[in-house]
Amino acid sequence: HDDESGTNLVGSQPVLCASCHASPALGTTGQPGVKYLSHSMHEKHAGEDGVVINTMAASWLHSTGTLGAPPRNPEDGTEDCYQCHPGVETACLRDTMSSAGMWCTNCHGDMRAVGSEDRIPWVDEPKCGDSACHGPQYAENPNTLYRNSTGHGGLYCEACHNSTHAILPSREVRDNLQTIALQGYAGTLTECTVCHGLTVPNGQGPHGIACTLSADVDDDGDVDVTDIQLNANAWLVEPVNPVYDQNRDGVVDVSDIMLVARSFGAVCQT
């Protein structure tokens, strides 16, 4: 940095990068004429991929004793990102999108896109409501990041979907524990009874979705003895029918019957 920019960082006390390079994440305004920290970092390294590969090769040699870089798909977008951003331990790429084959770059773009001066770091982030993603029905609040957006009576989006980079169901087992405890299976919190109790009010739920009672297997608007009987019968004759697989584990068994019984008496008001 000193050689390229004429600074004297080596001879100074520890210097916060964001004291010169503005960072909205830290609330620093930087110095006039100096690029955002995110711009500088991503723009510079976007053209130096060989440096990143060399770093990977050194890490690969240290961990395996084998020369050369680890197997790498340039489209993956994770190896480069993980050189600086929280990597293997934190596993930022672990949410449901990653399970569907998406990578960091599918949402954030490549290094050049992230380093573009047309982008405000930490403000111009991927949006669920973009037409190429989930669309306006699932949009964040205007000019608000996902993590700060609310809906359905003021609930944060994260209350049902979990935090950014850990959108449910997550590949990290611990991310799923809360919803498993609340509704009996991993994934978005969709069971209305978790919050509303056995009597779910009429009207549309979040994103315009109607009342959801998975235990109402006969789809008559309430959970009663018939639903328990149907699930018990499926245990014997249709053990892989997803209609009766209450906990989404791929098989119908006694745990599914217990989940139906737990919701006994639940009703969707009309």
Count of CA atoms in the C-beta half-sphere (13 A) of 36: 19
- Phi-psi region at 109: left, alpha or beta (left = phi > 0; alpha = psi -120 to 50): left
Q: Which residue has the higher pLDDT, 205 or 79?
A: 205
Please indicate, yes or no, whether residues 8 and 94 belong to a single structural domain of this protein. Answer: yes
pLDDT > 60? residue 113: yes
User: β-pairing, 150-151 with 155-156?
Assistant: antiparallel
Burial pattern 40-74, b for ≥16 Cβ within 10 A else e, equals: bbbbebbeeeeebbeebbeebeeeeeeeebeeeee
How many CB atoms lie under 10 A from the CB of residue 248? 14
Of 124, 143, 172, the residue at which a domain comes to its end is 124
Please indicate, yes or no, whether residues 157 and 225 belong to a single structural domain of this protein. Answer: no
CA–CA gap between residue 261 and residue 223 (Å, rounded): 8
Please indicate, yes or no, whether residues 243 and 182 belong to a single structural domain of this protein. Answer: no
How many CB atoms lie under 10 A from the CB of residue 107? 17
Give residue 40's Cα distance to chain centre: 26
Please indicate, yes or no, whether residues 2 and 120 belong to a single structural domain of this protein. Answer: yes
Please indicate, yes or no, whether residues 217 and 171 belong to a single structural domain of this protein. Answer: no
Of 97, 124, 151, the residue at which a domain comes to its end is 124
How many CB atoms lie under 10 A from the CB of residue 176? 18
Nearest to 211 by CA among 224, 198, 230: 198
Number of domains in the chain: 3
Stretch 54-82: mean pLDDT: 55
Please indicate, yes or no, whether residues 71 and 106 belong to a single structural domain of this protein. Answer: yes
Q: What is the pLDDT of residues 202-223, one digit of tens each?
A: 888 899 988 889 999 999 999 9
Q: What is the pLDDT of residues 152-191, one digit of tens each?
A: 999 999 999 999 999 999 999 999 999 999 999 999 999 9
Please indicate, yes or no, whether residues 141 and 101 belong to a single structural domain of this protein. Answer: no
Contact 191, 197 (CB under 8 A): no
Of 171, 189, 207, the residue at which a domain comes to its end is 189
Domain of residue 198: give its range.
Answer: 193-268
Please indicate, yes or no, whether residues 79 and 145 belong to a single structural domain of this protein. Answer: no
Please indicate, yes or no, whether residues 110 and 20 belong to a single structural domain of this protein. Answer: yes
Name, in order, each residue with C-beta under 8 angstroms of 75's C-beta and a sequence gap of 6 or more: 103, 105
Burial of 22 (0-12, 13-18, 19+ CB in 10 A): buried
Please indicate, yes or no, whether residues 101 and 50 belong to a single structural domain of this protein. Answer: yes
Please indicate, yes or no, whether residues 3 and 120 belong to a single structural domain of this protein. Answer: yes
